[in-house]
Chains A and B, each alone.
Chain A
Amino acid sequence: MRVFQLQAANVSYNGRRALAEVSLAIEAGERVALVGKSGAGKSTLLNLLYRQQTARCALVPQDYALVKPLSVFHNVYIGRLNRHAAAYNLLNLAWPLPREVEPVRAVLRRVALEEKLFTPVGELSGGQQQRTAVARALHQGGEVLLGDEPVSSVDELQSREVLAAINQDFRTVVLAMHDVALALAFTDRVIGLQGGRIVLDRPTAGLQPGDLDSLYRS
Chain B
Amino acid sequence: MPRSAAFRTSLWFLGLAAACLLLSDIEITTRDPWFELGRMMRGALTPDFFATEQLASALLHTVAFAATGVGIAVLAGFCLALVFHVGAVRWGCAFLRAIHELFWALIFLQMFGLSPLTGVLAIAIPYSAICAKVFAEILEEADATPLKALPAGSGILSGFFYARLPPVWQHMKTYALYRLECGMRSSAVLGFVGLPTLGFHLQTAFQQGQYSEVSALLYLFFLLISTLRLWVRPRLVPLLFVLAILALPPGMPIAWENALRFLTADIVPAPLRAGALLDAGTLGALGRWMGMLLRDQALPGMVATLLLSQVALVGTGLLTLVFFPLISRHFFGPVGRTAGHVFLVIARSTPEYILTFTFLQAWGPSMLPAIVALALHNGAIIGHLTGRHADAIPRRPDSPRGLNLYGFEVLPRVYGQFLAFLFYRWEVILRETAILGMLGIHTLGFFIDNALSQLRLDRMMFLLLVTAVMNVGIDILSRRIRANLRLTVNPETGE
Residues of A within 8 A of B (CB): 54-55, 58-61, 63-70, 74, 77-82, 84-86, 89-90, 93, 133, 136, 140
Closest beta carbon of chain B to A123's beta carbon, Å: 14
The stretch that binds A, out of B165-173, B274-282, B372-380, B427-435, is B165-173
Quick one: which of B153-205 are within 8 Å of A by CB? 153-155, 157-159, 161-163, 166-167, 169-170
Q: With A and B bound together, what is the CA distance between A67 and B148 in angstroms?
A: 11
Task: Pick the contact of A54: B152, B162, B163 (CB < 8 A).
Answer: B152
Question: Is A89 within 8 A of B162, CB to CB?
Answer: yes
B38 within 8 A of A: no
Question: Is B166 within 8 A of A70, CB to CB?
Answer: yes
Q: With A and B bound together, what is the CA distance between A65 and B146 in angstroms?
A: 4
Interface centre among A55, A58, A60, A70 (most CB of B within 10 A): A70
Closest beta carbon of chain B to A38's beta carbon, Å: 19
**Chain B 127-166 interface 0/1 with A at a Cβ cutoff of 8 Å (1 = within):** 0000000000000000101111111111101110111001
Question: Is B151 within 8 A of A79, CB to CB?
Answer: yes
Question: Is B146 within 8 A of A82, CB to CB?
Answer: no
Question: Is A82 within 8 A of B155, CB to CB?
Answer: yes
Chain B positions within 8 Å of A63 at CB level: 145
Question: Is A81 within 8 A of B155, CB to CB?
Answer: yes
Chain A positions within 8 Å of B157 at CB level: 86, 89-90
Q: With A and B bound together, what is the CA distance between A63 and B166 in angstroms?
A: 17
Question: Is A59 within 8 A of B149, CB to CB?
Answer: yes
Question: Is A78 within 8 A of B163, CB to CB?
Answer: yes
Question: Is B154 within 8 A of A81, CB to CB?
Answer: yes
Interface centre among A60, A80, A82, A133 (most CB of B within 10 A): A82
Chain A positions within 8 Å of B151 at CB level: 58, 78-82, 140
Q: With A and B bound together, what is the CA distance between A138 and B319 in angstroms?
A: 58
Contact A90-B149, Cβ < 8 Å, known A69-B167, A69-B170, A82-B155: no
Closest beta carbon of chain A to B214's beta carbon, Å: 44
Closest beta carbon of chain B to A62's beta carbon, Å: 10
Chain A positions within 8 Å of B147 at CB level: 65
Closest beta carbon of chain B to A140's beta carbon, Å: 5
Q: With A and B bound together, what is the CA distance between A78 and B167 in angstroms?
A: 14
Question: Is A68 within 8 A of B167, CB to CB?
Answer: yes
Chain A positions within 8 Å of B145 at CB level: 61, 63, 65
Question: Is A66 within 8 A of B161, CB to CB?
Answer: no
A-B contact pairs, 12 of them (CB 8 A): A65-B147, A65-B149, A66-B149, A67-B163, A68-B166, A69-B169, A78-B150, A78-B163, A82-B151, A82-B158, A90-B158, A93-B161
User: Given contacts A81-B151, A86-B158, could you give 10 more A-B pairs where the C-beta distance is less than 8 Å?
Assistant: A54-B152, A55-B152, A55-B153, A65-B148, A66-B146, A67-B163, A68-B166, A70-B166, A79-B151, A82-B151
Closest beta carbon of chain A to B148's beta carbon, Å: 5
Contact A78-B152, Cβ < 8 Å, known A68-B167, A93-B161: no
Closest beta carbon of chain A to B153's beta carbon, Å: 4
Interface centre among B146, B148, B159 (most CB of A within 10 A): B146
Interface centre among A64, A65, A93 (most CB of B within 10 A): A65
Question: Is B158 within 8 A of A67, CB to CB?
Answer: no
Q: With A and B bound together, what is the CA distance between A81 and B167 in angstroms?
A: 18
Contact A89-B158, Cβ < 8 Å, known A65-B146, A65-B148, A133-B149: yes
Interface centre among A58, A67, A74, A133 (most CB of B within 10 A): A67
Question: Is B149 within 8 A of A136, CB to CB?
Answer: yes
Closest beta carbon of chain A to B142's beta carbon, Å: 11
Chain A positions within 8 Å of B150 at CB level: 78, 81-82
- B151 — nearest CB in chain A belongs to which residue? A82
- B144 — nearest CB in chain A belongs to which residue? A65
Question: Is B162 within 8 A of A70, CB to CB?
Answer: yes
Chain B positions within 8 Å of A84 at CB level: 158
Task: Pick the contact of B158: A59, A61, A81 (CB < 8 A).
Answer: A81
Closest beta carbon of chain B to A94's beta carbon, Å: 9
Question: Is A81 within 8 A of B162, CB to CB?
Answer: yes
Question: Is B167 within 8 A of A82, CB to CB?
Answer: no
Closest beta carbon of chain A to B232's beta carbon, Å: 20
- A62 — nearest CB in chain B belongs to which residue? B145
Chain B positions within 8 Å of A89 at CB level: 155, 157-158, 161-162
